[in-house]
Amino acid sequence: MPRITPTASPPSRYGTVAIAFHWLLALAIIVAFSVGFYMSELPFSPDRLKLYNYHKWAGVTILALSALRLLWRLAHRPPADLPMPAWQAKAAHLTHGLLYALFFAVPLAGWAYSSAAGFPIVWFGVLPLPDFVPQDKALAETLKELHGWLAYGLAALVLVHIAGALKHHLIDKDGLLLRMMPSRP
């Protein structure tokens, strides 16, 4: 919850760094989700191997950027809620909280799945990442399911998030969406 300091009022917009994190990660997550959805149906081929590795590299990058983003978010106040019914403000905060949780849960489950399946992740083909679960076929199957369902959950929340933002922009016309847009000079 935002800390109330008597001297400073909350900003009216998100900061440049927060905006950059938001759109960069939005793009990365949409690409990683789409690649993940497509690659799992591919037959055994060099293309499949490539896409699996790109997907894993993207996932670890999303995880790392999300950690930086969370730290930034904790250190910088977001703009105050615009006037809206309390339940809507609550729903918005809950959605944001769950989105943040899944920014971590989805890649971590994918990483664990990869380790359990016996394919350790080597980030961008250069940096070997540790395995934090043992190699285990049954565990790999469970983690594969978990990774998939968490990813679908994240996709559903993204849709809720977009629907909420569009509702504010198109129906309430309260300028909420503009707070996350890069400012024009």
Residues near another protein, by CB under 8 A: 44-46, 49-50, 53, 117-122, 125-126, 128, 135, 137
Residue 128's φ and ψ, nearest 5 degrees, are -70, 130
- Choice between 19 and 35, CB closer to another protein: 35
- Choice between 42 and 163, CB closer to another protein: 42
Instruction: Give the span between the Cα atoms of 9 and 35, in whole angstroms.
Output: 42
Q: How far is the CB of 174 from another protein (least distance, A)?
A: 48
Q: How far is the CB of 133 from another protein (least distance, A)?
A: 14
Q: How far is the CB of 57 from another protein (least distance, A)?
A: 9
Q: DSSP secondary structure string, the chain? A: -----SS-PPPSS--HHHHHHHHHHHHHHHHHHHHHHHHTTS-SSHHHHHHHHHHHHHHHHHHHHHHHHHHHHHHSPPPPPPS--HHHHHHHHHHHHHHHHHHHHHHHHHHHHHHHTT---EETTTEEPPP-S---HHHHHHHHHHHHHHHHHHHHHHHHHHHHHHIIIIII--STGGGGSPPP-
Instruction: Give the span between the Cα atoms of 136 and 134, in whole angstroms.
Output: 6
Q: How far is the CB of 152 from another protein (least distance, A)?
A: 23
- Choice between 21 and 57, CB closer to another protein: 57
Q: How far is the CB of 144 from another protein (least distance, A)?
A: 11
- Choice between 2 and 128, CB closer to another protein: 128
Q: How far is the CB of 150 from another protein (least distance, A)?
A: 22
- Choice between 124 and 149, CB closer to another protein: 124
- Choice between 6 and 46, CB closer to another protein: 46
